[in-house]
Amino acid sequence: MTREMVLVKQHDLIGIITINNPKKKNAVNEEILKTIIKELYSMEEQGIRVIILTAQGNNIFCSGYDITASLPDYANMSLEQAMEEMERTDYVKQITRTIEKIGVPVIAMIKGHCIGAGLDIVAACDFRYATSNVKFSIPPAKLGIVYNPEGIRRLINILGVPRAKELLFLGKSISAKEALKYGLVHEILPDTKSLEDYTMVVANTLVQNAPLAVRGMKKIFRYLIEEQELSREKNIEAARLILKAINSEDIEEAKKAFLEKRKPNFKGK
């Protein structure tokens, strides 16, 4: 079942991974993300020189993490236990780290709207190309969630502080044209066929370049980005803030409102 939700193809030295969960608007869950992570490492080991990450259909690239998925019972854990559990089960964080860690360049080919965890995932990719009708948003504040520091740092690095706050605090949706202007995508194309053709041109260019040079520079980029990591004390404080939101009444209201297809009524509790 999960295997069918992640489609894998190979064209010579180009690997293509496709999210295939149309019934849930290509929402991702633990099993889908674990499968993609496995495929990313497998392709690297096989000598693939570039990976394209995309999704089935032309309307939704990814609607985010499946909000109906159950969360661990953090309320009955110590802070240390909760931090360990979050580290173990945050598969969005794990896939973004994997994309950044592997030596193979990853291209996000975005044929539809990109929301929440989907945006975090494509932001970790080395190149991002989209069709002109795509919209981007990452609305943790609308779901009662304190977003993780790595995801926030990634958006700050791409967008700058003011735009990152607009996306995260307001849950603002931006067009492909705005995303191009802000540096969130590298190029926008008029339709799916143009996007696929352009992505393959970039992929073939990467394939023809020296693998050791590309891998080496990608690793150096990662080293430089890692210098922005939080201290242990600040990581602990960030975990407290995340857990406070996870254990709140507001997050339960967000889930209920989502299922009832209405706006949540947050009380700050």
Structure confidence at residue 138 as a pLDDT band (50, 70, 90): very high
Read off the pLDDT of residues 153-183 as tens digits, 9 standing for 90 and up: 999 999 999 999 999 999 999 999 999 999 9
pLDDT at residue 78 tops 50: yes
Name the 3-class secondary structure at 103.
coil
Read off the pLDDT of residues 24-65 as tens digits, 9 standing for 90 and up: 999 999 999 999 999 999 999 999 999 999 999 999 999 999
Structure confidence at residue 83 as a pLDDT band (50, 70, 90): confident
The domains located in the chain, with CATH, are 2-194+209-226 (3.90.226.10)
Tokens of 255: 């889930």
pLDDT at residue 2 tops 60: no
Q: How far apart are CA 71 and CA 59, in angstroms?
A: 28
Read off the pLDDT of residues 3-24 as tens digits, 9 standing for 90 and up: 599 999 999 999 999 999 999 9
Mean pLDDT of 212-216: 94
Q: What is the value of pTM for the model shown?
A: 0.88
Q: What is the chain's Cα-based Rg? A: 18
Which of 222, 239, 221 shows the shortest CA–CA distance to 230?
239
Q: How far is CA 14 from CA 102, 189, 206, 230, in A?
A: 15, 21, 9, 35
Quick one: pLDDT at residue 87? Answer: 78
Per-chain mean pLDDT for the chain: 91
Quick one: pLDDT at residue 141? Answer: 87
pLDDT at residue 1 tops 50: no
